[in-house]
Amino acid sequence: MAMSLGVLGPAGTHSEAAAAYLKRQTGEDYKLVLFADIFDCLQAVENGEVDSALVPVENSLEGAINITLDTLARSEGLTVWRELIWPVHNQLLARRRGEIKRIYSHAQPISQCRDFLLQHYPQAELIKVASTARAAEIVAEAPADSGSAAIATARAGELLGLVPIATEIQDSAANCTRFFQVGRQALSFLPKEKLLVICQIDGQKAGALFEVLKEFAQRGINMTRIESRPARTELGAYIFFFDLEYSDSPQLEEALSAVEKKSIWLRNLGTFPVLTVN
Amino acid sequence: MAMSLGVLGPAGTHSEAAAAYLKRQTGEDYKLVLFADIFDCLQAVENGEVDSALVPVENSLEGAINITLDTLARSEGLTVWRELIWPVHNQLLARRRGEIKRIYSHAQPISQCRDFLLQHYPQAELIKVASTARAAEIVAEAPADSGSAAIATARAGELLGLVPIATEIQDSAANCTRFFQVGRQALSFLPKEKLLVICQIDGQKAGALFEVLKEFAQRGINMTRIESRPARTELGAYIFFFDLEYSDSPQLEEALSAVEKKSIWLRNLGTFPVLTVN
Protein backbone atom coordinates (compact mmCIF):
# COMPACT_ATOMS: atom_id res chain seq x y z
CA MET A 1 0.00 0.00 0.00
CA ALA A 2 1.33 3.44 -0.91
CA MET A 3 2.36 5.64 2.01
CA SER A 4 0.87 9.14 2.04
CA LEU A 5 3.18 12.18 1.83
CA GLY A 6 1.89 15.63 2.78
CA VAL A 7 3.17 18.62 0.85
CA LEU A 8 2.35 22.32 0.35
CA GLY A 9 0.01 22.54 -2.64
CA PRO A 10 -1.47 23.16 -5.14
CA ALA A 11 0.24 21.05 -7.83
CA GLY A 12 3.21 22.90 -9.31
CA THR A 13 4.73 24.36 -6.10
CA HIS A 14 8.43 23.89 -5.43
CA SER A 15 7.37 21.53 -2.62
CA GLU A 16 5.30 19.38 -4.95
CA ALA A 17 8.12 19.26 -7.53
CA ALA A 18 10.57 18.24 -4.77
CA ALA A 19 8.15 15.54 -3.59
CA ALA A 20 7.90 14.14 -7.12
CA TYR A 21 11.71 14.00 -7.18
CA LEU A 22 11.85 12.27 -3.76
CA LYS A 23 9.44 9.64 -5.04
CA ARG A 24 11.53 8.92 -8.16
CA GLN A 25 14.84 9.01 -6.28
CA THR A 26 13.88 6.69 -3.41
CA GLY A 27 11.64 4.44 -5.46
CA GLU A 28 9.14 4.66 -2.60
CA ASP A 29 5.51 4.71 -3.69
CA TYR A 30 4.05 7.88 -2.15
CA LYS A 31 0.53 9.12 -2.61
CA LEU A 32 0.82 12.94 -2.44
CA VAL A 33 -1.66 14.82 -0.21
CA LEU A 34 -1.72 18.59 -0.82
CA PHE A 35 -2.16 21.08 2.05
CA ALA A 36 -2.86 24.82 1.98
CA ASP A 37 -0.08 25.68 4.43
CA ILE A 38 2.96 24.21 6.17
CA PHE A 39 1.39 24.26 9.63
CA ASP A 40 -1.57 22.09 8.47
CA CYS A 41 0.82 19.79 6.67
CA LEU A 42 2.93 19.07 9.80
CA GLN A 43 -0.17 18.80 11.99
CA ALA A 44 -1.49 16.10 9.65
CA VAL A 45 1.67 14.06 10.32
CA GLU A 46 1.28 14.52 14.06
CA ASN A 47 -2.41 13.49 13.94
CA GLY A 48 -1.68 10.45 11.77
CA GLU A 49 -3.66 11.76 8.78
CA VAL A 50 -0.58 11.29 6.59
CA ASP A 51 2.47 9.03 7.09
CA SER A 52 5.03 11.77 6.48
CA ALA A 53 5.40 15.25 4.98
CA LEU A 54 8.03 17.06 2.93
CA VAL A 55 8.40 20.66 4.16
CA PRO A 56 10.90 23.44 3.37
CA VAL A 57 13.12 24.43 6.30
CA GLU A 58 15.64 26.89 4.84
CA ASN A 59 16.40 28.76 1.62
CA SER A 60 19.98 29.75 0.80
CA LEU A 61 18.98 33.35 -0.05
CA GLU A 62 16.05 34.07 2.24
CA GLY A 63 16.97 32.06 5.33
CA ALA A 64 14.89 29.98 7.70
CA ILE A 65 11.25 29.06 7.02
CA ASN A 66 9.95 30.21 10.41
CA ILE A 67 6.63 28.38 10.38
CA THR A 68 8.43 25.04 9.87
CA LEU A 69 10.86 25.68 12.75
CA ASP A 70 8.12 26.95 15.10
CA THR A 71 5.86 23.97 14.34
CA LEU A 72 8.67 21.40 14.77
CA ALA A 73 9.66 23.02 18.10
CA ARG A 74 6.10 22.78 19.45
CA SER A 75 5.11 19.38 18.06
CA GLU A 76 5.22 16.06 19.88
CA GLY A 77 6.66 12.89 18.48
CA LEU A 78 7.81 14.12 15.07
CA THR A 79 11.09 12.87 13.68
CA VAL A 80 13.17 13.83 10.64
CA TRP A 81 13.48 11.01 8.09
CA ARG A 82 15.51 12.70 5.35
CA GLU A 83 16.97 16.03 4.31
CA LEU A 84 16.67 17.00 0.63
CA ILE A 85 18.73 19.83 -0.92
CA TRP A 86 16.64 21.16 -3.78
CA PRO A 87 18.02 23.62 -6.39
CA VAL A 88 15.43 26.36 -7.05
CA HIS A 89 14.78 27.35 -10.65
CA ASN A 90 12.27 30.15 -11.10
CA GLN A 91 10.59 31.19 -14.32
CA LEU A 92 8.55 34.24 -15.26
CA LEU A 93 5.36 32.82 -16.79
CA ALA A 94 2.50 34.48 -18.69
CA ARG A 95 -0.31 33.49 -21.04
CA ARG A 96 1.58 35.23 -23.89
CA ARG A 97 4.43 37.69 -24.47
CA GLY A 98 3.59 41.39 -24.13
CA GLU A 99 3.57 44.20 -21.59
CA ILE A 100 3.70 43.00 -17.97
CA LYS A 101 1.83 45.21 -15.49
CA ARG A 102 1.65 42.94 -12.46
CA ILE A 103 3.62 39.96 -11.22
CA TYR A 104 2.19 37.38 -8.81
CA SER A 105 4.23 35.03 -6.63
CA HIS A 106 4.94 33.82 -3.12
CA ALA A 107 6.89 36.29 -0.92
CA GLN A 108 10.07 34.16 -1.00
CA PRO A 109 10.56 33.98 -4.79
CA ILE A 110 9.74 37.72 -5.03
CA SER A 111 12.70 38.32 -2.68
CA GLN A 112 14.86 35.76 -4.45
CA CYS A 113 14.33 37.51 -7.82
CA ARG A 114 14.72 41.08 -6.45
CA ASP A 115 17.57 42.11 -8.80
CA PHE A 116 15.91 40.64 -11.90
CA LEU A 117 12.64 42.43 -11.12
CA LEU A 118 14.32 45.79 -10.41
CA GLN A 119 16.26 45.57 -13.67
CA HIS A 120 13.56 44.32 -16.06
CA TYR A 121 10.19 45.20 -14.46
CA PRO A 122 10.74 48.20 -12.12
CA GLN A 123 7.19 49.48 -12.84
CA ALA A 124 5.33 46.19 -12.37
CA GLU A 125 3.10 45.78 -9.33
CA LEU A 126 4.32 42.86 -7.19
CA ILE A 127 1.50 40.85 -5.60
CA LYS A 128 2.24 38.25 -2.92
CA VAL A 129 0.00 35.17 -2.85
CA ALA A 130 0.01 31.89 -0.89
CA SER A 131 2.26 29.87 -3.22
CA THR A 132 3.98 30.01 -6.61
CA ALA A 133 1.47 27.49 -7.93
CA ARG A 134 -1.44 29.73 -6.85
CA ALA A 135 0.27 32.65 -8.64
CA ALA A 136 0.45 30.60 -11.84
CA GLU A 137 -3.25 29.67 -11.49
CA ILE A 138 -4.26 33.35 -11.16
CA VAL A 139 -2.37 34.18 -14.35
CA ALA A 140 -3.85 31.19 -16.20
CA GLU A 141 -7.39 32.30 -15.19
CA ALA A 142 -6.88 35.98 -16.17
CA PRO A 143 -7.59 37.24 -19.74
CA ALA A 144 -4.64 36.73 -22.12
CA ASP A 145 -4.14 40.51 -22.48
CA SER A 146 -4.36 41.33 -18.74
CA GLY A 147 -0.63 42.04 -18.37
CA SER A 148 -0.35 39.48 -15.56
CA ALA A 149 2.66 37.22 -15.01
CA ALA A 150 3.75 34.78 -12.30
CA ILE A 151 7.08 33.74 -10.84
CA ALA A 152 6.72 29.97 -10.50
CA THR A 153 8.21 26.60 -11.38
CA ALA A 154 8.59 25.25 -14.92
CA ARG A 155 6.29 22.44 -13.75
CA ALA A 156 3.48 24.89 -12.92
CA GLY A 157 3.87 26.49 -16.36
CA GLU A 158 3.58 23.11 -18.07
CA LEU A 159 0.56 22.06 -15.98
CA LEU A 160 -1.30 25.28 -16.87
CA GLY A 161 -0.07 25.90 -20.44
CA LEU A 162 1.78 29.16 -19.64
CA VAL A 163 4.66 30.59 -21.72
CA PRO A 164 8.09 31.04 -20.06
CA ILE A 165 8.93 34.74 -20.62
CA ALA A 166 12.28 34.37 -18.81
CA THR A 167 14.03 31.44 -17.14
CA GLU A 168 16.61 31.15 -14.32
CA ILE A 169 15.55 34.57 -13.01
CA GLN A 170 16.69 34.00 -9.39
CA ASP A 171 19.45 36.41 -8.29
CA SER A 172 21.95 33.72 -7.48
CA ALA A 173 22.78 30.38 -9.05
CA ALA A 174 23.29 29.23 -5.46
CA ASN A 175 19.54 29.30 -4.81
CA CYS A 176 18.72 26.08 -2.96
CA THR A 177 16.00 25.09 -0.54
CA ARG A 178 16.52 22.50 2.18
CA PHE A 179 13.51 20.26 2.84
CA PHE A 180 12.90 17.87 5.72
CA GLN A 181 10.83 14.76 5.26
CA VAL A 182 9.14 14.47 8.65
CA GLY A 183 7.37 11.40 10.02
CA ARG A 184 6.36 9.95 13.36
CA GLN A 185 8.45 6.95 14.48
CA ALA A 186 12.07 6.80 13.35
CA LEU A 187 13.04 4.82 10.22
CA SER A 188 15.98 2.88 11.60
CA PHE A 189 17.03 1.37 8.25
CA LEU A 190 18.11 4.72 6.72
CA PRO A 191 21.75 5.90 6.74
CA LYS A 192 22.63 8.20 9.63
CA GLU A 193 24.39 11.37 8.41
CA LYS A 194 22.99 14.25 10.47
CA LEU A 195 20.74 14.89 13.42
CA LEU A 196 18.48 17.75 14.52
CA VAL A 197 18.39 18.81 18.16
CA ILE A 198 16.02 21.51 19.46
CA CYS A 199 16.41 23.03 22.91
CA GLN A 200 15.57 26.05 25.00
CA ILE A 201 18.51 27.58 26.87
CA ASP A 202 18.18 29.95 29.80
CA GLY A 203 19.10 33.19 28.03
CA GLN A 204 19.43 35.11 31.28
CA LYS A 205 22.68 33.29 32.09
CA ALA A 206 25.76 34.95 30.62
CA GLY A 207 27.60 32.64 28.23
CA ALA A 208 24.82 30.00 28.27
CA LEU A 209 24.98 29.38 24.53
CA PHE A 210 28.77 29.20 24.65
CA GLU A 211 28.56 26.53 27.37
CA VAL A 212 26.23 24.47 25.18
CA LEU A 213 28.39 24.77 22.06
CA LYS A 214 31.42 23.77 24.15
CA GLU A 215 29.81 20.39 24.86
CA PHE A 216 29.72 19.70 21.13
CA ALA A 217 33.06 21.31 20.20
CA GLN A 218 35.21 19.65 22.85
CA ARG A 219 33.92 16.25 21.70
CA GLY A 220 34.68 16.99 18.05
CA ILE A 221 31.02 17.06 17.02
CA ASN A 222 30.56 19.34 14.04
CA MET A 223 27.57 21.68 13.99
CA THR A 224 26.52 22.44 10.41
CA ARG A 225 23.81 24.94 11.30
CA ILE A 226 22.54 26.95 14.25
CA GLU A 227 19.21 28.78 14.14
CA SER A 228 17.19 30.49 16.83
CA ARG A 229 13.52 31.38 17.17
CA PRO A 230 11.69 33.26 19.94
CA ALA A 231 10.42 31.10 22.82
CA ARG A 232 7.33 33.42 22.73
CA THR A 233 7.45 33.87 26.52
CA GLU A 234 9.45 37.10 26.75
CA LEU A 235 11.88 39.20 24.73
CA GLY A 236 15.31 37.58 24.99
CA ALA A 237 14.13 33.95 25.48
CA TYR A 238 15.06 31.72 22.55
CA ILE A 239 14.73 28.20 21.22
CA PHE A 240 17.84 26.93 19.41
CA PHE A 241 17.99 24.47 16.49
CA PHE A 242 21.28 22.60 16.06
CA ASP A 243 22.02 20.56 12.94
CA LEU A 244 24.85 18.19 13.88
CA GLU A 245 26.95 15.72 11.91
CA TYR A 246 26.21 12.21 13.09
CA SER A 247 29.04 10.08 14.45
CA ASP A 248 28.71 6.53 15.69
CA SER A 249 30.54 7.20 18.96
CA PRO A 250 29.71 7.49 22.66
CA GLN A 251 30.86 11.12 22.40
CA LEU A 252 27.64 12.14 20.66
CA GLU A 253 25.40 10.62 23.35
CA GLU A 254 27.57 12.20 26.05
CA ALA A 255 27.33 15.62 24.41
CA LEU A 256 23.54 15.37 24.08
CA SER A 257 23.05 14.44 27.72
CA ALA A 258 25.42 17.22 28.83
CA VAL A 259 23.48 19.75 26.72
CA GLU A 260 20.19 18.45 28.06
CA LYS A 261 21.40 19.14 31.63
CA LYS A 262 22.15 22.76 30.63
CA SER A 263 18.79 23.27 28.86
CA ILE A 264 15.28 24.06 30.06
CA TRP A 265 14.19 21.32 27.64
CA LEU A 266 15.78 19.39 24.79
CA ARG A 267 14.34 17.24 22.02
CA ASN A 268 16.27 15.06 19.61
CA LEU A 269 14.37 14.82 16.31
CA GLY A 270 16.50 11.92 15.15
CA THR A 271 19.21 11.02 12.67
CA PHE A 272 18.72 11.18 8.92
CA PRO A 273 20.53 10.99 5.55
CA VAL A 274 20.98 13.96 3.16
CA LEU A 275 19.82 13.66 -0.48
CA THR A 276 21.13 16.09 -3.07
CA VAL A 277 19.70 16.51 -6.57
CA ASN A 278 22.13 15.57 -9.37
CA MET B 1 16.95 73.02 13.18
CA ALA B 2 14.99 69.80 13.61
CA MET B 3 16.75 66.58 12.64
CA SER B 4 14.87 64.31 10.27
CA LEU B 5 13.91 60.80 11.40
CA GLY B 6 12.86 58.19 8.84
CA VAL B 7 10.19 55.68 9.83
CA LEU B 8 7.91 53.08 8.20
CA GLY B 9 4.66 54.86 7.36
CA PRO B 10 1.88 55.77 6.92
CA ALA B 11 0.90 57.59 10.14
CA GLY B 12 -0.45 55.14 12.71
CA THR B 13 2.05 52.28 12.24
CA HIS B 14 3.77 50.82 15.31
CA SER B 15 6.98 52.40 13.97
CA GLU B 16 5.41 55.86 13.82
CA ALA B 17 3.95 55.49 17.33
CA ALA B 18 7.39 54.40 18.62
CA ALA B 19 9.01 57.40 16.88
CA ALA B 20 6.53 59.78 18.55
CA TYR B 21 7.51 58.21 21.90
CA LEU B 22 11.25 58.54 21.14
CA LYS B 23 10.72 62.24 20.38
CA ARG B 24 8.89 62.88 23.68
CA GLN B 25 11.31 60.74 25.72
CA THR B 26 14.56 62.22 24.42
CA GLY B 27 13.25 65.77 24.03
CA GLU B 28 14.95 65.80 20.62
CA ASP B 29 13.07 67.71 17.95
CA TYR B 30 12.63 65.22 15.10
CA LYS B 31 10.79 65.88 11.88
CA LEU B 32 9.29 62.50 10.89
CA VAL B 33 9.74 61.36 7.29
CA LEU B 34 7.54 58.39 6.32
CA PHE B 35 8.78 55.62 4.01
CA ALA B 36 6.88 52.81 2.28
CA ASP B 37 9.31 50.11 3.40
CA ILE B 38 12.22 49.45 5.76
CA PHE B 39 14.78 49.05 2.97
CA ASP B 40 14.01 52.53 1.57
CA CYS B 41 14.09 53.96 5.07
CA LEU B 42 17.62 52.68 5.81
CA GLN B 43 18.84 53.60 2.32
CA ALA B 44 17.71 57.18 2.98
CA VAL B 45 19.98 57.29 6.05
CA GLU B 46 22.89 55.90 4.03
CA ASN B 47 22.33 58.46 1.23
CA GLY B 48 22.01 61.37 3.66
CA GLU B 49 18.34 62.06 2.79
CA VAL B 50 17.45 61.75 6.49
CA ASP B 51 19.65 62.13 9.59
CA SER B 52 18.55 58.88 11.20
CA ALA B 53 15.81 56.25 11.07
CA LEU B 54 13.90 54.18 13.63
CA VAL B 55 13.44 50.62 12.33
CA PRO B 56 12.15 47.40 13.95
CA VAL B 57 14.80 44.69 14.35
CA GLU B 58 13.07 41.94 16.39
CA ASN B 59 9.67 41.01 17.77
CA SER B 60 9.39 38.83 20.89
CA LEU B 61 6.81 36.51 19.28
CA GLU B 62 7.73 36.52 15.62
CA GLY B 63 11.51 36.86 15.73
CA ALA B 64 13.97 38.81 13.61
CA ILE B 65 12.86 41.39 11.04
CA ASN B 66 14.94 39.97 8.20
CA ILE B 67 14.90 43.00 5.91
CA THR B 68 16.41 45.17 8.69
CA LEU B 69 19.22 42.67 9.39
CA ASP B 70 19.97 42.09 5.69
CA THR B 71 20.07 45.85 4.96
CA LEU B 72 22.29 46.61 7.98
CA ALA B 73 24.68 43.80 6.98
CA ARG B 74 25.07 45.16 3.45
CA SER B 75 25.12 48.91 4.20
CA GLU B 76 28.21 51.09 4.53
CA GLY B 77 28.77 53.57 7.32
CA LEU B 78 25.59 53.02 9.34
CA THR B 79 25.78 53.07 13.12
CA VAL B 80 23.25 52.25 15.85
CA TRP B 81 22.38 55.26 18.03
CA ARG B 82 19.81 53.78 20.38
CA GLU B 83 17.78 50.64 21.06
CA LEU B 84 14.11 51.08 22.01
CA ILE B 85 12.04 48.26 23.56
CA TRP B 86 8.45 48.95 22.53
CA PRO B 87 5.46 47.04 24.03
CA VAL B 88 3.04 46.10 21.24
CA HIS B 89 -0.68 46.65 21.84
CA ASN B 90 -2.93 45.54 19.01
CA GLN B 91 -6.59 46.42 18.56
CA LEU B 92 -9.27 45.04 16.26
CA LEU B 93 -10.76 48.12 14.58
CA ALA B 94 -13.84 48.56 12.39
CA ARG B 95 -16.15 51.36 11.23
CA ARG B 96 -18.88 49.94 13.47
CA ARG B 97 -19.76 46.77 15.40
CA GLY B 98 -21.30 43.89 13.41
CA GLU B 99 -20.36 40.78 11.48
CA ILE B 100 -16.68 40.65 10.47
CA LYS B 101 -16.00 38.87 7.19
CA ARG B 102 -12.41 39.93 6.49
CA ILE B 103 -9.55 41.19 8.58
CA TYR B 104 -6.68 43.27 7.18
CA SER B 105 -3.27 43.68 8.78
CA HIS B 106 0.48 43.32 8.33
CA ALA B 107 1.76 39.71 8.34
CA GLN B 108 3.44 40.11 11.76
CA PRO B 109 0.35 41.18 13.77
CA ILE B 110 -1.71 38.48 12.02
CA SER B 111 0.80 35.94 13.42
CA GLN B 112 0.94 37.68 16.80
CA CYS B 113 -2.86 37.45 17.18
CA ARG B 114 -3.16 33.88 15.84
CA ASP B 115 -4.90 32.43 18.93
CA PHE B 116 -7.37 35.35 19.22
CA LEU B 117 -8.29 35.06 15.54
CA LEU B 118 -8.74 31.26 15.68
CA GLN B 119 -10.97 31.57 18.73
CA HIS B 120 -13.16 34.54 17.75
CA TYR B 121 -13.01 34.81 13.94
CA PRO B 122 -12.19 31.34 12.54
CA GLN B 123 -14.26 32.07 9.39
CA ALA B 124 -12.87 35.53 8.62
CA GLU B 125 -10.64 35.95 5.59
CA LEU B 126 -7.18 37.21 6.66
CA ILE B 127 -5.64 39.69 4.21
CA LYS B 128 -1.99 40.74 4.55
CA VAL B 129 -1.14 44.31 3.54
CA ALA B 130 2.01 46.47 3.76
CA SER B 131 1.45 47.88 7.26
CA THR B 132 -1.07 48.01 10.09
CA ALA B 133 -1.75 51.66 9.23
CA ARG B 134 -2.53 50.74 5.61
CA ALA B 135 -4.92 48.05 6.93
CA ALA B 136 -6.75 50.68 9.00
CA GLU B 137 -6.97 53.00 5.97
CA ILE B 138 -8.54 50.25 3.83
CA VAL B 139 -11.20 49.69 6.51
CA ALA B 140 -11.85 53.42 6.90
CA GLU B 141 -12.35 53.75 3.12
CA ALA B 142 -14.70 50.72 2.84
CA PRO B 143 -18.50 51.04 3.28
CA ALA B 144 -19.58 50.89 6.96
CA ASP B 145 -21.44 47.58 6.35
CA SER B 146 -18.63 45.89 4.39
CA GLY B 147 -17.70 43.51 7.23
CA SER B 148 -14.07 44.69 7.11
CA ALA B 149 -11.85 45.09 10.17
CA ALA B 150 -8.17 45.84 10.75
CA ILE B 151 -5.60 44.77 13.35
CA ALA B 152 -3.73 48.00 14.05
CA THR B 153 -2.63 50.46 16.71
CA ALA B 154 -4.98 52.50 18.91
CA ARG B 155 -3.32 55.53 17.32
CA ALA B 156 -4.38 54.45 13.80
CA GLY B 157 -7.95 53.98 15.06
CA GLU B 158 -8.00 57.49 16.54
CA LEU B 159 -6.50 59.08 13.42
CA LEU B 160 -9.15 57.46 11.19
CA GLY B 161 -12.18 57.46 13.51
CA LEU B 162 -12.50 53.69 13.78
CA VAL B 163 -14.18 51.81 16.66
CA PRO B 164 -12.11 49.40 18.80
CA ILE B 165 -14.01 46.07 18.61
CA ALA B 166 -11.44 44.34 20.88
CA THR B 167 -8.26 45.53 22.58
CA GLU B 168 -5.06 43.75 23.71
CA ILE B 169 -5.71 40.97 21.24
CA GLN B 170 -2.05 39.83 20.91
CA ASP B 171 -1.48 36.24 22.09
CA SER B 172 1.04 37.15 24.75
CA ALA B 173 1.38 40.08 27.12
CA ALA B 174 5.12 39.70 26.46
CA ASN B 175 4.70 41.10 22.95
CA CYS B 176 7.51 43.64 22.47
CA THR B 177 9.34 44.94 19.44
CA ARG B 178 12.98 46.06 19.57
CA PHE B 179 13.78 49.07 17.40
CA PHE B 180 17.17 50.48 16.41
CA GLN B 181 17.64 54.17 15.79
CA VAL B 182 20.25 54.12 13.02
CA GLY B 183 22.35 57.08 11.88
CA ARG B 184 25.60 57.71 10.09
CA GLN B 185 28.44 58.97 12.30
CA ALA B 186 28.45 57.82 15.95
CA LEU B 187 26.88 60.01 18.67
CA SER B 188 29.68 59.90 21.24
CA PHE B 189 27.72 61.74 23.96
CA LEU B 190 25.19 58.91 24.49
CA PRO B 191 25.60 56.29 27.25
CA LYS B 192 27.29 53.07 26.11
CA GLU B 193 25.27 50.01 27.16
CA LYS B 194 25.39 47.58 24.24
CA LEU B 195 27.08 47.14 20.90
CA LEU B 196 26.19 45.41 17.64
CA VAL B 197 28.81 43.45 15.74
CA ILE B 198 28.12 41.82 12.36
CA CYS B 199 30.51 39.33 10.80
CA GLN B 200 30.76 36.52 8.30
CA ILE B 201 32.40 33.35 9.57
CA ASP B 202 33.80 30.62 7.36
CA GLY B 203 31.08 28.02 7.87
CA GLN B 204 33.10 25.23 6.26
CA LYS B 205 35.41 25.08 9.28
CA ALA B 206 34.17 22.77 12.03
CA GLY B 207 33.62 24.62 15.29
CA ALA B 208 34.14 28.06 13.69
CA LEU B 209 31.24 29.66 15.57
CA PHE B 210 32.38 28.09 18.83
CA GLU B 211 35.86 29.60 18.35
CA VAL B 212 34.29 33.04 17.87
CA LEU B 213 32.03 32.77 20.92
CA LYS B 214 35.05 31.63 22.96
CA GLU B 215 36.76 34.98 22.32
CA PHE B 216 33.82 36.74 23.99
CA ALA B 217 33.16 34.16 26.75
CA GLN B 218 36.72 33.80 28.02
CA ARG B 219 36.94 37.61 28.41
CA GLY B 220 33.65 37.76 30.34
CA ILE B 221 31.80 39.65 27.61
CA ASN B 222 28.10 38.82 27.72
CA MET B 223 26.25 38.21 24.46
CA THR B 224 22.57 39.14 24.79
CA ARG B 225 21.55 37.97 21.34
CA ILE B 226 22.86 35.93 18.42
CA GLU B 227 21.12 35.91 15.06
CA SER B 228 22.17 34.57 11.69
CA ARG B 229 21.15 35.33 8.13
CA PRO B 230 22.22 33.71 4.85
CA ALA B 231 25.34 35.21 3.23
CA ARG B 232 23.46 34.68 -0.10
CA THR B 233 26.55 33.08 -1.68
CA GLU B 234 25.81 29.41 -1.05
CA LEU B 235 23.75 27.16 1.22
CA GLY B 236 25.57 26.92 4.56
CA ALA B 237 27.29 30.35 4.44
CA TYR B 238 25.98 32.72 7.13
CA ILE B 239 26.34 36.24 8.48
CA PHE B 240 26.13 36.48 12.28
CA PHE B 241 24.75 39.36 14.36
CA PHE B 242 26.05 39.60 17.93
CA ASP B 243 24.46 41.95 20.48
CA LEU B 244 27.04 42.40 23.25
CA GLU B 245 26.98 44.13 26.60
CA TYR B 246 29.39 47.06 26.56
CA SER B 247 32.21 47.15 29.08
CA ASP B 248 34.77 49.92 29.35
CA SER B 249 37.74 47.55 29.39
CA PRO B 250 40.59 46.56 27.05
CA GLN B 251 39.05 43.07 27.05
CA LEU B 252 36.27 44.17 24.69
CA GLU B 253 38.69 45.62 22.11
CA GLU B 254 40.86 42.51 22.40
CA ALA B 255 37.85 40.23 21.83
CA LEU B 256 36.73 42.20 18.77
CA SER B 257 40.14 42.11 17.15
CA ALA B 258 40.45 38.37 17.89
CA VAL B 259 37.03 37.75 16.33
CA GLU B 260 37.94 39.90 13.32
CA LYS B 261 41.00 37.68 12.69
CA LYS B 262 38.72 34.61 12.65
CA SER B 263 36.13 36.22 10.34
CA ILE B 264 35.91 36.74 6.59
CA TRP B 265 34.79 40.29 7.48
CA LEU B 266 33.60 42.07 10.61
CA ARG B 267 31.80 45.38 11.15
CA ASN B 268 31.19 47.09 14.46
CA LEU B 269 27.99 49.15 14.27
CA GLY B 270 28.83 51.00 17.45
CA THR B 271 27.77 51.30 21.08
CA PHE B 272 24.35 52.54 22.16
CA PRO B 273 22.00 52.91 25.15
CA VAL B 274 18.73 50.96 25.60
CA LEU B 275 15.45 52.83 26.18
CA THR B 276 12.48 50.99 27.65
CA VAL B 277 8.92 52.34 27.74
CA ASN B 278 7.56 52.87 31.26
Per-residue model confidence as pLDDT tens digits over B51-69 = 999 999 998 888 999 999 9
pLDDT at B5: 97
Q: How many residues does chain B have?
A: 278
Say whether B91-167 and B3-87+176-183 share the same fold. Answer: yes
What letter represents residue A59's amino acid? Answer: N
**Domain B3-87+176-183, CATH number (from 3.40.190.10, 3.40.50.20, 2.40.50.60, 3.40.309.10):** 3.40.190.10
pLDDT band at A278 (very low <50, low <70, confident <90, very high): confident
For residues A65-80, give the mean pLDDT. 93
Higher-pLDDT residue of A62 and B103 is B103
Report whether pLDDT(B76) > 90.
no
Cβ–Cβ < 8 Å for B159, B34: no
State the ipTM, two decimals.
Answer: 0.81
Contact A60 B232 (CB under 8 A): yes
User: Is the Cβ of B59 closer than 8 Å to some Cβ of chain A?
Assistant: yes
Cβ–Cβ < 8 Å for A79, A184: yes
pLDDT at A15: 92
C-alpha B265 chain-centroid distance: 24
pLDDT at A147: 95
**Topology, domain B91-167:** D-Maltodextrin-Binding Protein; domain 2 (3.40.190)
Report domain extents, chain A.
3-87+175-183, 91-167, 194-272
For residues A101-129, give the mean pLDDT. 91
Q: H or E element: which one contains B267?
A: strand B263-272
For residues A84-111, give the mean pLDDT. 92
Give the rounded percent of residues in chain B with a pLDDT score beyond 90: 70
Report whether pLDDT(B277) > 70.
yes
Q: What is the mean pLDDT of chain B?
A: 92
Higher-pLDDT residue of A91 and B131 is A91
Report whether pLDDT(B203) > 80.
no
User: Is the Cβ of B205 closer than 8 Å to some Cβ of chain A?
Assistant: no
User: Is the Cβ of A142 closer than 8 Å to some Cβ of chain B?
Assistant: no
pLDDT band at B160 (very low <50, low <70, confident <90, very high): very high
Q: How far is CA B132 from CA A47, A148, B107, B161, B275, in A?
A: 35, 27, 9, 15, 24
User: Is the Cβ of A63 closer than 8 Å to some Cβ of chain B?
Assistant: yes
| Distance, CA of B55 to CA of A18 (rounded, Å) | 37
A85 vs B contacts (CB less than 8 Å) = 235
A226 vs B contacts (CB less than 8 Å) = 209, 226, 228
pLDDT at A171: 80
A235 vs B contacts (CB less than 8 Å) = 58, 60, 85, 174, 176, 178
Q: Domain A194-272 is classified in which CATH homologous superfamily?
A: ACT domain (3.30.70.260)
User: Is the Cβ of B85 closer than 8 Å to some Cβ of chain A?
Assistant: yes
| Residue B23 phi, psi dihedral angles, 5° rounding | -60, -50
Interface test with A, best of B39, B43, B58, B60 (most A CBs within 10 A): B60
User: Is the Cβ of B247 closer than 8 Å to some Cβ of chain A?
Assistant: no
pLDDT band at B206 (very low <50, low <70, confident <90, very high): low
pLDDT at A44: 96
pLDDT band at A216 (very low <50, low <70, confident <90, very high): very high
Question: Which A residues, 214 through 243, put their C-beta within 8 Å of a C-beta on chain B?
Answer: 214, 216-217, 220, 222-230, 232-236
| B217 → closest Cβ in A61, A210, A223 | A210
Report whether pLDDT(A229) > 90.
yes
**Domain B194-273, CATH number (from 3.30.70.260, 3.40.50.300, 3.30.365.10, 3.20.20.60):** 3.30.70.260
- The number of CA neighbours under 13 Å toward the Cβ of B114 is 11
pLDDT at B148: 97
pLDDT at B111: 85
pLDDT band at A206 (very low <50, low <70, confident <90, very high): low
DSSP letters spanning B35-74? ESSHHHHHHHHHHTSSSEEEEEEEETTTEE-HHHHHHHHH
For residues A69-74, give the mean pLDDT. 94
pLDDT band at A97 (very low <50, low <70, confident <90, very high): very high
pLDDT at A235: 82
User: What is the distance in angstroms between the Cα of B1 and the nearest Cα belonging to chain A?
Assistant: 36
For residues B29-58, give the mean pLDDT. 94
pLDDT at A13: 87
| Distance, CA of A131 to CA of A107 (rounded, Å) | 8
Q: Which of A2, A75, A3 is nearest to A38 (CA)?
A: A75
Report whether pLDDT(A204) > 70.
no
Contact B174 A232 (CB under 8 A): yes
| Distance, CA of B204 to CA of A243 (rounded, Å) | 14
| A213 → closest Cβ in B61, B213, B227 | B213
pLDDT band at B256 (very low <50, low <70, confident <90, very high): very high
* pLDDT tens readout for residues B211-246: 999 999 999 999 989 999 998 888 888 999 999 999
Q: What is the mean pLDDT of chain A?
A: 92
End-to-end CA distance of chain A: 29
For residues B258-263, give the mean pLDDT. 95
**Topology, domain A3-87+175-183:** D-Maltodextrin-Binding Protein; domain 2 (3.40.190)
| Distance, CA of B208 to CA of B112 (rounded, Å) | 35
* pLDDT tens readout for residues A134-166: 999 999 999 999 999 999 999 899 999 999 999
* pLDDT tens readout for residues B117-157: 999 999 999 998 878 889 999 999 999 999 999 999 998 99
